[in-house]
Homo-oligomer: A and B are copies of this chain.
Amino acid sequence: MAEKGRRNVDIIAVAKAARVSPSTVSRSFNHPDLVKATTRKKIDAVVRRLGYIRNRAAQTIHGIRSGTIGLIVPTVDQAIFAEMIQSFSEAVEELGFTILLASHGFNLDREYSLTRKMLEHRVDGVALIGIAHTQDTLDLLAQQEMPTLLLWSFSPTAPFPCVGSDNYAAGALIGRHVAELGHRRVAAMFPPTEGNDRASLRFAGVKDALAEVGCRIPEAWQLVAPYSVATAKSAVEALIAEGGLPTAIICGNDVLAWGTLHALNRARIDVPGQVTVTGIGDFKGSKEFEPSLSTVRIPARTIGARAAEAIVQLITSEEAVDVAALIPPEIMVRGTSGPPGKA
C-alpha cells in the first residue's frame, strides 16, 4: 500500500526511509547485483510503501537513453498506417521502448517541426514514413546523429536505412496483371501524389507496366480521389454518368477500390464481368468483399515489426549496422479481376 499524500517522493526520500544512501538506491535499480540481497529487499519494501516512481527525465540528462522512439506519420487513421503503427508499437514495447507519436497530415513542413520536437524530447531514435522528406528534416537528423529509419517504402538509395515495401513494384505488379488479362481501356484512381511518394511510385509502376503492352491511360480516366470510400464512390459515379466505361479500374489503394466497388454495385455493373477492379494494400476486409478484391499485398504488420527491430538495433548497436529490409509486395488475384467483357 503506497502512502498517500507526499509528492516529491524521490530517490533521496527512499534512501532516508531505508536508511541507506541514494547511491545504493540507484544501484539497486540499475545494478541489482552490486547490492546485497537484504538491502535490496529493504529498499524494495520502502519503494512500495512510498509509491516511488523512477524519474526517467532525471536519468536522461545523464546521457542514459530516454527509452522513447519518435514516430512521425502522415496520419493515424488510414487502415494501413494504423496496422503498421500497431505492430510497430507492440514490437517496440517488447524491446523496452515507448512511442512518441505525432502526425503531420501530409505536410512536410510540419514534419520538420515535429522532428525538432522529438529531438527536444531526446528520443533515442526517429522513424519517418516514406522516402520523400525536406532537406531540412534530413539534415537535422543527420547533424544530430540521430538513429533514423525510413519506414514503409524501400529504396536502396535513400538517405537513411529503409524498412518497407517497393511501391513501384506494387504498382507494376497490378498493372501487369491487368494488362495480361487483356485490358486496354483502363482507368486509374489515385490519391493526390503531392508529398506522397508511395502514391506516386505506385502510379508510375502501373503506367510503366501498361506501357509495356502499349496501353496508355487517357487523361480523362486518371481520377484523383483522396483516401476515402466516399470520394472514390462519387468519382466512379461521375465516371458512370459520363458513359463510355473502361474495362478496368486500377485503384491506388484498397479503400478507393472499395468505393469503386460500391459505386459499380449500385449501378448494377457486374464485376468483373463488365469491369475489373483492383486495389493496392490488401487491407483487412478486402478479401471478404463480394466479390473478393484483387489487390497487391503490402504486409503492414511485417513492416511494422521489422522496422521496430531495425530501429532498436540502430539505437543499441555500437558499430554501424545494416538494417535495411525490403519486404516484397505480393499480388493477390481474387474475384474482382477478369478478362475484359464485351463492353
Chain A contact residues, CB within 8 Å of chain B:
2, 4, 7, 51, 53-58, 60-61, 66-68, 75-79, 81-83, 85-86, 89-90, 93, 98-103, 105, 114, 116-122, 139-140, 143-145, 228-230, 233, 255, 258-259, 262, 265-266, 284-285, 287-290
Query: With A101-B99, A102-B98, A230-B288 in contact, do A82 and B89 touch (Cβ < 8 Å)?
Result: no
Task: Give the residues in chain B near A285, CB-CB below 8 Å.
Answer: 228-230, 255, 258-259
Least CB separation from A110: chain B residue:
B93
Measured CB to CB, the closest approach of chain B to A107, in angstroms, equals 12
Task: Give the residues in chain B near A122, CB-CB below 8 Å.
Answer: 55-57
What is the count of identical protomers in the complex?
Answer: 2
Measured CB to CB, the closest approach of chain B to A220, in angstroms, equals 23
Q: Which of A2, A55, A114, A259 has the most CB of B within 10 A?
A: A55
Query: With A102-B93, A255-B285 in contact, do A57 and B60 touch (Cβ < 8 Å)?
Result: yes
**Contact for A53 among B55, B81, B120, B233, CB less than 8 A:** B120
- In whole angstroms, how far apart are the Cα atoms of A186 and B230 in the complex? 30
- In whole angstroms, how far apart are the Cα atoms of A117 and B96 in the complex? 10
A103 near B77 (CB under 8 angstroms)? Answer: no
Least CB separation from A66: chain B residue:
B57
Measured CB to CB, the closest approach of chain B to A264, in angstroms, equals 9
- In whole angstroms, how far apart are the Cα atoms of A230 and B283 in the complex? 12
Task: Give the residues in chain B near A289, CB-CB below 8 Å.
Answer: 262
Task: Give the residues in chain B near A53, CB-CB below 8 Å.
Answer: 116, 119-120, 144
Task: Give the residues in chain B near A86, CB-CB below 8 Å.
Answer: 75-77, 103
Least CB separation from A8: chain B residue:
B63
Query: With A53-B144, A101-B99, A122-B57 in contact, do A266 and B290 touch (Cβ < 8 Å)?
Result: yes
B89 near A101 (CB under 8 angstroms)? Answer: yes
Task: Give the residues in chain B near A145, CB-CB below 8 Å.
Answer: 7
A76 near B79 (CB under 8 angstroms)? Answer: no
- In whole angstroms, how far apart are the Cα atoms of A121 and B4 in the complex? 21
Query: With A143-B2, A290-B266 in contact, do A102 and B120 touch (Cβ < 8 Å)?
Result: no
Task: Give the residues in chain B near A75, CB-CB below 8 Å.
Answer: 86
Measured CB to CB, the closest approach of chain B to A270, in angstroms, equals 14
Measured CB to CB, the closest approach of chain B to A274, in angstroms, equals 16
B68 near A77 (CB under 8 angstroms)? Answer: no
Task: Give the residues in chain B near A100, CB-CB below 8 Å.
Answer: 68, 98-101
B288 near A233 (CB under 8 angstroms)? Answer: yes
Task: Give the residues in chain B near A287, CB-CB below 8 Å.
Answer: 230
A89 near B76 (CB under 8 angstroms)? Answer: yes
Task: Give the residues in chain B near A66, CB-CB below 8 Å.
Answer: 57, 121
B51 near A57 (CB under 8 angstroms)? Answer: no
Least CB separation from A139: chain B residue:
B2
- In whole angstroms, how far apart are the Cα atoms of A120 and B52 in the complex? 10
Given contacts A98-B102, A98-B117, 10 further A-B contacts (CB under 8 A): A51-B143, A54-B120, A55-B61, A68-B100, A78-B82, A79-B79, A93-B114, A99-B100, A230-B284, A230-B285
Measured CB to CB, the closest approach of chain B to A297, in angstroms, equals 15
**Contact for A82 among B76, B90, B262, CB less than 8 A:** B76
6 of the cross-chain contacts (CB-CB < 8 Å) are A4-B143, A51-B143, A76-B76, A100-B101, A101-B101, A266-B290
Measured CB to CB, the closest approach of chain B to A128, in angstroms, equals 15
